[in-house]
Structures are given as structure tokens and as C-alpha cells.
């Protein structure tokens, strides 16, 4: 597939995913202070239903395009410490795989009925930190790579 097309697909999927994470961590958590708890639970349930339908496809698209992009840079990944670009790309991939692990863990906990509020918050904050680092690395790769 054309590199530019893969990059565009990856970018739009990343915007969707990162935007969702930012919304949940920075906006939704602060809305909680202004909305009655029963209404907030209803909103969270509704968002959860939609997210469980949409996010697997967004993540599949994001990682599928990301795999294609990584394949085009496979020479840089052979020796991950060969250059600034290789180091940042390798770190970005490791962080992305960690986000994927968080996603699978969350799905397992939700489907098994073991997800708790505190666990959900910790996962969201961890994913938030991961995606911020991934975005910073993506920009740094252009500057220092």
C-alpha cells in the first residue's frame, strides 16, 4: 500500500483514539463534579456501549496501518540503537504495544465482570500518559530523526 495513504489512515485513527482518551481523562472526569452520580453512570454506560463497538475497529485500523508503516522502516528497526530515529521509533512501538496490552486487559476485565472504577481510572491514566509520550515521540522523530 502507498506510504502516504498508510500514514493518513494511521494519523486519522490516532486522532480518533488519542482524542477519545483525552476526552475521557480530561473532560469526562471533570464533568463528574457537576453532574449527579446517577446521571453520570448513565452517561458512562452509554459512552461505554458506543466505545466497545467503535474502538476495536479504530485500534485495528491504527495498528494495521502502524504495522504497515513499521514494515517500511524495517531497516531502522533491525538495529534499534543505530540512530535517533531508530531509538524513537522502537520506543514508540513499545509504548503502542503497551497501549494494546492495556486495551486487551480492559476488555477482559469488562467482559469477565471484574472491572472496577479504580482499575478503570488507572488504566485510563496510564493509556493517557502512553499516548502523550507516543505523540511527543512522533513529533520528535520528525525533528531529531
Domain boundaries, the chain: 3-144
Largest separation between any pair of C-alpha atoms in the chain: 54
**Alpha-carbon 9 to chain mean position:** 15
The confidence score (pLDDT) of residue 144 equals 86
The confidence score (pLDDT) of residue 32 equals 87
The confidence score (pLDDT) of residue 63 equals 97
The confidence score (pLDDT) of residue 1 equals 79
Q: 25 near 124, Cβ under 8 Å? A: yes
pLDDT mean for each 10 residues of the chain (145 residues): 94 96 92 91 90 93 96 93 95 97 94 92 96 96 85
- Dihedral sign computed on CA atoms, order 113, 114, 116, 120: negative
Q: 92 near 136, Cβ under 8 Å? A: no
pTM summary value: 0.90
Amino acid at each position: 500500500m502507498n506510504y502516504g495513504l498508510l500514514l493518513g489512515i494511521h494519523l486519522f485513527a490516532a486522532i480518533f483514539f488519542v482524542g477519545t482518551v483525552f476526552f475521557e481523562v480530561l473532560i469526562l472526569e471533570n464533568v463528574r463534579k457537576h453532574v449527579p452520580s446517577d446521571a453520570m453512570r448513565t452517561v458512562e454506560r452509554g459512552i461505554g456501549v458506543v466505545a466497545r463497538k467503535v474502538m476495536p475497529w479504530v485500534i485495528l485500523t491504527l495498528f494495521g496501518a502502524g504495522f504497515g508503516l513499521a514494515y517500511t522502516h524495517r531497516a531502522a528497526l533491525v538495529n534499534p540503537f543505530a540512530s535517533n530515529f531508530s531509538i524513537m521509533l522502537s520506543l514508540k512501538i513499545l509504548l503502542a504495544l503497551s497501549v494494546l496490552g492495556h486495551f486487551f486487559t480492559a476488555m477482559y476485565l469488562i467482559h469477565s465482570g471484574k472491572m472496577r472504577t479504580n482499575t478503570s481510572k488507572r488504566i485510563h491514566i496510564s493509556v493517557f500518559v502512553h499516548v502523550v509520550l507516543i505523540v511527543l515521540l512522533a513529533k520528535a522523530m520528525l525533528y531529531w530523526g
